[in-house]
């Protein structure tokens, strides 16, 4: 299991303008805090809001999220996501080890149509073990928890877990080989529950391609350096270099215009012994 993230250290928010660092994604440019024993492993807490805009200019969803990054590079992402176009609310948690491998994830999904379900998955060398409890829309409720395993021929570093919220998609790229660049084949275990479907998930192949480096202008007047990737689906994502936080994403579900997701708010709370250096987030 992942390390405890219980923390009692005092927090304060550092303006994002102080945290954008060229070549390092997002970095702390102010003094960090003394951490109590309970928060000694925690290096940085990111809290953000990501908003979806449809081609017609209407809001199509909002993700509210927390990213806990520990000193060894391991992290936990928690997301509360509402999808306006589908009337869904989803809560997701992903646990990622220091090697960039998503080891486990939990997701709970509810829609206005009545679909309700939860799923918990753990990655193994052979694939994924999943526990699912689902009440599917317009169907007879399923009692109890359903256990199953899904196999994969890919290595753990060639796999990731997809929970649905776009803000969580940055985790798919933690093991992308920047030096090699080019098309890199991957497999994503997509957890179920989207748009009233079954809660059971499945592996789906994809390919990621590094398009290049770009700086994204934020409404607040500063820029964030990012790596721009394209997926086999045609969707594109712009990620911070250090933490792989989604700054922008153009999501496509087939032909036609994309849904645009943009980071609109980000607060960063650093933890640890007081220092004047500018440590990069891992």
* pLDDT tens sequence across 217-231: 877 788 899 999 999
pLDDT in tens, 110-166: 877 766 788 999 999 999 999 988 665 445 555 568 889 999 999 999 999 999 889
pLDDT in tens, 74-126: 999 999 999 866 678 899 999 999 999 999 999 988 877 766 788 999 999 99
Let me know if residue 29 belongs to a domain: no
Q: What pLDDT was estimated at residue 140? A: 52
197 or 106: whose pLDDT is higher?
106
Tokens of 56: 């017609």
Residue 184 pLDDT > 90: yes
Strands 116-123 and 102-111: antiparallel
Q: What pLDDT was estimated at residue 173? A: 95
Let me know if residue 277 belongs to a domain: no
Average the pLDDT over 191-210 and give the result.
81
Residue 26 pLDDT > 50: no
- 101 by Cβ neighbours in 10 Å (0-12 / 13-18 / 19+) ranks as buried
Q: What is the mean pLDDT of the chain?
A: 79
Q: What pLDDT was estimated at residue 273? A: 53
Q: What pLDDT was estimated at residue 192? A: 79
CB 263 within 8 A of CB 48: yes
Strands 159-162 and 183-190: parallel
Q: What pLDDT was estimated at residue 6? A: 30
Q: What CATH number should be reported for the domain holding residue 149?
A: 2.40.360
Three-class SS of residue 44?
strand
Q: Distance between CA atoms of 253 and 150, rounded to whole angstroms?
A: 24
Which range marks the domain in which residue 226 is found? 37-269
Let me know if residue 123 belongs to a domain: yes
- Model confidence at 277, in pLDDT bands (50, 70, 90)? very low
The total of structural domains in the chain comes to 1
Q: What pLDDT was estimated at residue 41? A: 85
Let me know if residue 116 belongs to a domain: yes
Residue 214 pLDDT > 70: yes
Let me know if residue 89 belongs to a domain: yes
Please state the pTM of the whole predicted model: 0.79
Let me know if residue 81 belongs to a domain: yes
Q: How far is CA 22 from the centre of its chain?
A: 22
- The DSSP code sequence of 96-124 is E-TTS-EEEEEEEEEETTS-EEEEEEEE-
124 or 39: whose pLDDT is higher?
124
Q: What pLDDT was estimated at residue 141? A: 53
Tokens of 204: 């789906």
Q: What pLDDT was estimated at residue 242? A: 80
Let me know if residue 10 belongs to a domain: no
Let me know if residue 198 belongs to a domain: yes
């Amino acid at each position: 299991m992942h390390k405890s993230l219980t923390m009692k250290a005092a927090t304060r928010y550092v303006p994002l303008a102080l945290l954008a660092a060229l070549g390092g994604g997002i970095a702390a440019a102010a003094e960090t805090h003394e951490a109590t024993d309970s928060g000694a492993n925690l290096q940085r807490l990111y809290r953000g809001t990501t908003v979806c805009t449809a081609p017609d200019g209407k809001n199509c969803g909002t993700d509210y999220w927390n990213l806990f990054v520990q000193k060894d590079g391991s992290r936990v992402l928690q997301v509360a996501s509402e999808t306006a176009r589908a009337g869904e609310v989803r809560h997701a948690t992903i646990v990622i080890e220091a090697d960039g491998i998503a080891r486990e994830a939990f997701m709970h999904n509810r829609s206005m149509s009545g679909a309700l379900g939860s799923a918990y998955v753990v990655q193994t060398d052979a694939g994924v073990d999943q526990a699912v409890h689902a009440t599917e829309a317009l169907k007879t409720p399923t009692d109890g928890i359903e256990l199953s395993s899904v196999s994969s021929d890919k290595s753990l570093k060639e796999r990731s877990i997809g929970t649905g919220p776009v803000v969580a998609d940055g985790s798919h790229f933690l093991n992308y080989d920047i030096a090699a660049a080019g098309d890199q084949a991957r497999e994503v275990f997509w957890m179920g529950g989207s748009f009233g479907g079954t809660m059971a998930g499945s592996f789906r192949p994809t390919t990621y391609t590094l398009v290049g480096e770009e700086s994204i202008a934020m409404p607040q007047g500063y820029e964030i350096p990012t790596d721009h990737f394209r997926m086999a689906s045609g969707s594109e994502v712009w990620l911070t270099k250090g933490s792989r936080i989604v700054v922008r994403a153009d999501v496509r579900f087939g032909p036609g215009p994309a849904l645009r997701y943009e980071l609109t708010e980000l607060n960063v709370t650093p933890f640890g012994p007081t220092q004047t250096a500018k440590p990069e987030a891992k």
